[in-house]
Amino acid sequence: MRQLGVTEVQDWLAEAGGQPLLLDVREPWEFQLAAIRLPGTQTLNLPMGQIPQRLAELDPAQPMLCICHHGMRSAQVVAFLERAGFQSVYNLAGGIAAWSEQVDPRVPHY
């Protein structure tokens, strides 16, 4: 499984080309409370429990960064997507909590 630390995301975005997807696998209330918004990216909130039945909505060729609160749920989603044939899928190590602490303190802690 490929993981990116929060300080590596900007470099990944530059390398990803096109429009990478930030796939936030938290529940809608979590996403509304604290979300990562980055220019040049598309963000999709698709809770972890819905991934299997909505898999067809995702493009296996699109670079994707999976996000959750601390990186555990998103790691499980990355493993699932890799088994389903997705090629360019990464987990955000430490999740949005690490993002808030190390990159953007405007993103609320919860």
Convert the pLDDT of each residue in 83-94 to its tens digit. Answer: 999 999 999 999
Task: Confirm whether 110 is domain-assigned.
Answer: no
Q: Which amino acid is at 36?
A: I
Question: Which of 99, 108, 97 is closest to 38 using CA atoms?
Answer: 99
pLDDT tens sequence across 16-57: 777 899 999 999 999 999 999 888 889 999 999 999 999 999
Task: Confirm whether 88 is domain-assigned.
Answer: yes
Task: Confirm whether 107 is domain-assigned.
Answer: no
Rounded to whole angstroms, how far apart are CA atoms 29 and 5? 24
Q: Record the pTM.
A: 0.94
Residue for token pair 């898999």: 55
Catalytic positions, written as ranges = 68
Provide the domain limits for residue 41: 3-102
Q: What is the pLDDT of residue 40?
A: 80
Task: Confirm whether 109 is domain-assigned.
Answer: no
Rounded to whole angstroms, how far apart are CA atoms 56 and 59? 7
Rounded to 5 degrees, φ, ψ at 72 are -85, -50
Q: Structural domain tally of the chain?
A: 1
- Alpha helix positions (H), the chain: 9-16, 28-33, 72-83, 95-102
CATH number at residue 61: 3.40.250.10
Q: What is the pLDDT of residue 80?
A: 98
